[in-house]
Each structure stands twice: as C-alpha cells, then as structure tokens.
Structure 1
Amino acid sequence: MKRRGILRGALAAGVAGTGLAALSTARNDIDAALAADHDNADVGFWESTAERYGYGYHGQAPTTVLADLVEDFAELKPLLARPQTDKTRTQLRYVTGQMAGMVAIVLHDLGEHRESHRWFATAKRAAQQSGDRLLHSWVLAREAMVPLNYGAPQVAAQLAEEARHLAGNKPSAAAALAAAVASRAYAISGHKGQALGAVAAVETLVERISPQQRADTWFGYPIQKHHVHMSQALTALGETQRAYATQDRALELSRAPSLMTRALIAIDQASCRAHDGDGEEAARIATQAYGQLPTSYRSGLTRTRALSLYRSLPVHTRGLDALGDTLGVLA
C-alpha cells in the first residue's frame, strides 16, 4: 500500500520524470515475463481484476486509476514468470493484454501518447500470445485512437482497418469499435465516402451484437458510447443535424455521463455550432465545458479537442478570448 501511495503521488504530479520511470519499469517487467516460456495462478482473481478496471474511471482521477493498474502489474508479473499449464498461461496472457491495454487507454486520455503507444505494443504482444483475435482487434482499435486524437488520422485509419480485418465478419464489440474508429479517422482525413461507409457498417453491427458485447465497459461497445463515436464522426463530416441528434441520444442514454464524456460531447456540439456559422455560441459552449472540468481532466484528450476548436475559430469571434484564457493560450 505504501508503494501504491508513492506511485499515485508521482503520477499525480505528472507522468513525466519519476512517474514515467515507474511506468517504463512495469512495462519492461511484463515484456520480459511474456518473453519467457512460462501451475499455481489464481486466474479467476486476475480475470475479475481486469473486469473491475474495465468499468472505467468511476469518478476517480485518471492518475489514480493508472497508479493502481501499474501496481497490480507488479503483482501479476511473478505469475507470468513461473511455469504454468498451457491453459493457465493463455488465460494470464489474455488478462495481461487487457490490463496493458487499459494502462495505454489512461495514458492516451492524459495526453501521454508516446508512452501509450509503448503500452499498446505490450498489449498487442500479450493478445497475440493469447491467440485471441478479438482481443488483438480491440487493442488495435484502441491504439488507433492515439493517432486519431493527436494529429495522424491516416495512421489511425490504417490501424482501424487492421483491427476490422482481425475481428472478421461476425458481429462483436471489437468489430463495432474498429468500424467506429475508422469512421472518425476517415472523416477527419476528409475521405467522406469511406467515412460514411464505415458509419453505415457500425450502425449495422451495433444492431446485431449481443447484450454481453454491449456491456458498458472499456471492452464492450455500449449504445451510449456508440453515439459518442458517431458524434465526432458526424461532426467532422459536417453532418450537423445528425450530429446534434446523436449527441442528445448519448446524453439521454446515460443518467450520469462521465466528466470526460460530457465535456467531449459538449465540444463536439460547439464544433457543430461553429460549422453552422455561430462562432460566438461555439466559443461559449466550449469555454463552459472545459472550464467546469476538474484540473485532473484538463490535460490530454479534452484539451486537445478544445484547443483544436479554438484554433479553428476566426480571430474576431466574440468569446474567443475567454476560451483562450480558459485554455491558457492567450498571448
């Protein structure tokens, strides 16, 4: 518990420096354990641990969740290093892929995209060794969100298409997520035809996946999160009326959307307002959405989206100075 507290403190102060060193050590240890040919593992405990983390932040700061995940890796590593039956080893590698993928998701949300890519590489290695194509597809689709949200949508589209190929034609959460990410990547890249094709594909998939596949976790593809994905795709396509409808639906489907989800939807709404010619209202919505976020949520993805909107608005837009001040970018 003492080490967990120290790690939380280091990460809360920033991922760089001490926090980054701890992350790198944990990831390198897992990579070394995966490289060994590795029966006494409480697989059920680790499966339930991965499931618990899969429900997301639940109001916790991302750095707190990150510290807990990395600390649990320290306990998981000795099991990977010990000789196990083939079945147990496969199960442990599956869980490792899930947990490494979740570390990468949190790092992405915090804006640490380089370290996020490194953890996704570990997650991919574990997924490949587990032999589970859907887990591998999920990791790739999640990884595609890093270049998608940090300025390389064409790379994101390539990763998303690889994920779609791995998922195959059978309806699954991984297949739906991959198609959704592809739709966003194509839309941002300006490939409207491919974007609309991916939107149509994910709309078909979401009607066919099972209730289990729609679980509201990082591993599922719930309807509410579907609308969050479609919000950005349709916003980028300039399909503002469809975007407004899917944004409203995303909020309706969740009584208490996460802080990050609510902020991202609001920023999409602001972008739609800007597209429709109401820059002043766009600035007001974005200023309010970003300004109401706790400090721990003002880095990474939310800031990237708000800053992108800020830079897209004409310099004479009323309210732009207030948005810039909230973002801390005024000259």
Structure 2
Amino acid sequence: MDDLPPSPAQVPHRLLADPAFVRALRERDFSSVFAMAHDAGISFNRIAEACALKAERVSQIARGAAAVTALATVERISGGLRIPGALLGLAAQPWEDTAAPSTESDHGDDPMKRRNLLRGALAAGLTAPALAALTAARTDVDQTLSPDTPQDLADLEATAESYGYGYHGQAPTRVLADLVTDFTTLSPLLTVPQPAPVRARLCRTAGQMAGMTAIVLHDLGSRRESRAWFATAARAAAESGDDQLYAWVRAREAMVPLNYGAPKAATGLAEQARHAAGNRPTAAAVLAAAVAARAYALNHQSEQARTALAAADALMDRLPEGERSDTWLTYGEQKHHVHLSHAFTTLGDTRRAQESQQRALELSAPTSTMTRTLLNIDAAACSHHDGDTEQACRRAIAALTALPSDYRTGLVRRRALDLYEAVPAQHHRERAVRELRDVVAG
C-alpha cells in the first residue's frame, strides 16, 4: 500500500499577519519560523509530520543548529504549514486557493485583472491567500525602491540605549541573558547588503551591545569570555567608523586586566583608548584617562597616575551635559568619583579617596548594589591604609555579607581579595582577617 501524503498543519492566520513571521519567511529563517509556529501551538513533532521531516531535524532547525537550503524542503514546509508560496519566494503552491492572486506573469500587468483578483481574495477576509497577495504586491514595489533603514534598527538602537542604564536591581545573569538574546537579532541585518550609513548604524549598535555584554561578563568574573566579547565589540566599533565608541570599548576592556591583577596590560589598553578618543572632552576620553590613572596607580607609577587623574578631571570639567548621564555608555559625576575612589585608595591618598567615596555614594541610586559595595570595600581599604586593619576587615565583611548572592560576583570578590592580600602575613591569624578570608572564599 502506498504511503499517504503527510497531512498539513495550518499555521494560524494571525502569524501570517505578524511582521516578524513574514520577515522570517522572506529571509527563509526557518529557525524563527519553526520557533514561532511552536509558540503558536504546533509541536515540533507535528511540524515534522506535516513537512515530512525528522523530528530531530526540526528541533535542530528551531535551535539554529541546522539550516534549510534545499528548494524541495522549502516547498514541503510551505505545503506542510500551509504557508503561501509568495511569502517564501516560491510560485503559488498547488494547494493554494485558485482564486488567490498569483505573482506569476500569467496575469500580466492588467491592473483591472489584479484588482478583481485581490477583491475576490479579500472578500473572505484576511485569509492566508489574501495576506500572501498583499505581501506580494508590497514586495514587488518595495524591492524596486532604494534600500532603506530596516524597521528593526531603530528598535535595536533604543534597546541598546535602555541596557546602558545598567542592572537597575536585576541580577547580572538575567541582564546577560536578555542582552545576548537581543544581540543575536542583529545577525540577519548584518548578513544582507545595506547602504553604508545603515551598515554603520548596525555596527555601532552591535559594538554597544557586545561591549555591554562584556561588561556584565567582567562583573561576573568571566574574564576570558569578557575579553572575547570586547574583541567583537572593538571590531564592530571599528567598522562603524565611530572613534569614540572604539575608545569606549578599549577603555572598558582595560578594566578586565585592571580588576584582575594585570595592571600593565590595563595601562596599554587604556592608552590605546586615550589615543583613539583624542583631546576632545567626550565620555570615552574621560573614562580612558580615569582607567589609565587606576592602572598606573596599581603598577606603582604614582607620577603617571596623578598626571592621568589631572587629565581626567580637566576633561570632566569640560564634558558636555549630554554625555554626563549615569549610563554604561556615558560618563556621569557618580562614575567619575567611583574611578577616583579606587585610584586614590590605591595611591594611599585616603583623604581624597574618602571624599570621592562619599560623593559617589550620595549620587548612587539605591539599586546600584554592586557600585555601592565596591565603594564600601574601597573605604575599608582606606581604613587599612590608615592603620586600622581590624576595622578594614569588618567593613569589607559587612559589605560582602549584605549583598544578595546573585551580586557576589567575581569583581566584588576580587576587590575584597585585594584587601585581604594587602594585609601583612603576620596579621593573617587575627580573627577579623580570618573572617574576611572565609567570607571571600565562601
């Protein structure tokens, strides 16, 4: 007995009216197509059955682990999910309503015939054939127009800006998951030819989002992954032609070796950032000078550190108001004092360090959990510099134990460990010092 043909699994009409679904069909992005069909209630097993595919392969396609390239497979998907051929760049399929307008040339360019066919299709409402006809009509004209900005780009730029406001009380791992998910939506836009100005905007957004992903990874203590994301951000920034973004990426990248025990490497990256930023008062220029100062201080180059601090202060005084907001992508007064706090603490200038700590805490929002903790650890280090090691350990312990577990990240632990290692070995058996060691290790 001959095998029966697979029975179709009709995708809901609302999906065929969804711009994201239509775009995925047009680009033959079957990972998104299958995922959205699944979200609409069609199981992967049902999709596999309807399209004469193995269930395992459908699952792989939905995850992006496999692709569909064969025309015969595309046609089977069209028939199996009852997706009009026009939406996939195919001829009208045999199962389609014969009353539906065709994109084939057999109708010629007769406007009256097209009008009547479209009216007939729409008489039954926004059915799949009618939506296919509307899409085909729009696409015919759209493809003849000059390339325009993808409609997703403005949304992605706004999304990147929103991530710049930091954690806002959210766990770093949650922010990381959201960031990377949104970052991947740039890929389809970057793989198709775009006008040069649009390409530059896409690369700029990619550089921002990759850079912010790297920041979160840095905060979580994943140094290798952070550097890899900064490398991607730097390539995107370079391609965008935005020197200030490139300088910002390099300055933020410098904070990875800065905070994890390689100040010489940090100095090199920070000076690259200063060179790229130039002498104009920009957020990237101030950041680069401040990070360079911290790196020189950690490298016991006090004169260079103070010179860089003076340069950072001078740039900060002239920084335009539009670049002073408190985001990852700009440089506000609070951020400036956070950097000054660490630089002056490292230099042993506890009076100026404490002034910056106080001002930074005044400017920090209650949700700035990680920043406030780092400032409190700097304050503890100042107590150690001033000779009260027990008080220093108590303050650091209080700062760490007050943190929710999600915020006890690699960066916070590293800063507390720096304090512990600064305590002379002969004091390591003292109770407060041992308790600090245990909390850091916990």
TM-score category (smaller protein): 0.7 to 0.9
What is the DSSP-based 3-state SS (H/G/I as helix, E as strand, rest coil) of the residue aligned with 2:159? helix
Residue 319 of structure 1: aligned partner? 432
Residue 216 of structure 1: aligned partner? 326
2-side partners of 1:206 and 1:138: how far apart? Answer: 15
2-side partners of 1:317 and 1:244: how far apart? Answer: 26
2-side partners of 1:319 and 1:172: how far apart? Answer: 43
| CA deviation profile, 1:128-186 (whole Å, cap 9, x unmatched) | 00001000000000000000001110110111011001111110000000000000000
Q: Residue 394 of structure 2 contacts residue 432 of structure 2 at CA under 8 Å; is this kept in 1?
A: yes
1:50 to 133, 154, 160: 160
2:397 to 287, 295, 301: 287
State the TM-score, normalizing by the size of structure 2. 0.65
Residue 35 of structure 1: aligned partner? none
Residue 138 of structure 1: aligned partner? 248
2-side partners of 1:73 and 1:197: how far apart? Answer: 38
Shift of 1:318: 4.1
Q: Residue 324 of structure 2 contacts residue 331 of structure 2 at CA under 8 Å; is this kept in 1?
A: yes
Shift of 1:317: 3.7
2-side partners of 1:94 and 1:126: how far apart? Answer: 6
Paired residue type of 1:148: L
| Identity percentage of aligned residues | 56
Higher helix share: 1
Shift of 1:239: 0.3
| Greater RCO, 1 or 2 (C-alpha within 8 Å, sep 6+) | 1
2-side partners of 1:169 and 1:40: how far apart? Answer: 33
Residue 248 of structure 1: aligned partner? 358
Give yes or no for the alignment of 1:84 onto 2:194: yes
1-side partners of 2:430 and 2:267: how far apart? Answer: 33
1-side partners of 2:308 and 2:441: how far apart? Answer: 36
Residue 195 of structure 1: aligned partner? 305
1-side partners of 2:441 and 2:252: how far apart? Answer: 29
Shift of 1:311: 2.1
Residue 147 of structure 1: aligned partner? 257
What is the DSSP-based 3-state SS (H/G/I as helix, E as strand, rest coil) of the residue aligned with 2:206? helix
Give yes or no for the alignment of 1:60 onto 2:170: yes
2-side partners of 1:170 and 1:268: how far apart? Answer: 30
Q: Aligned-residue CA RMSD in angstroms?
A: 1.8
What are structure 1's unaligned runs of at least 5 residues? Answer: 4-24, 27-37
Residue 295 of structure 2: aligned partner? 185
2:150 to 30, 34, 41: 41
2:343 to 219, 223, 233: 233
Shift of 1:257: 5.5
Shift of the 153–101 alpha-carbon distance from structure 1 to 2, 3 Å rule, reads: same
1:120 to 207, 230, 248: 230
Q: Residue 310 of structure 1 contacts residue 324 of structure 1 at CA under 8 Å; is this kept in 2?
A: yes
Give yes or no for the alignment of 1:328 onto 2:417: no
Shift of the 219–239 alpha-carbon distance from structure 1 to 2, 3 Å rule, reads: same
Kindly tell me the number of residue pairs found equivalent between the two proteins. Answer: 296
Shift of 1:321: 2.0
2-side partners of 1:146 and 1:217: how far apart? Answer: 19
Paired residue type of 2:205: V
Paired residue type of 2:346: A
State the TM-score, normalizing by the size of structure 1. 0.86
Q: Residue 364 of structure 2 contacts residue 372 of structure 2 at CA under 8 Å; is this kept in 1?
A: no
2:411 to 286, 301, 311: 301
Residue 14 of structure 1: aligned partner? none
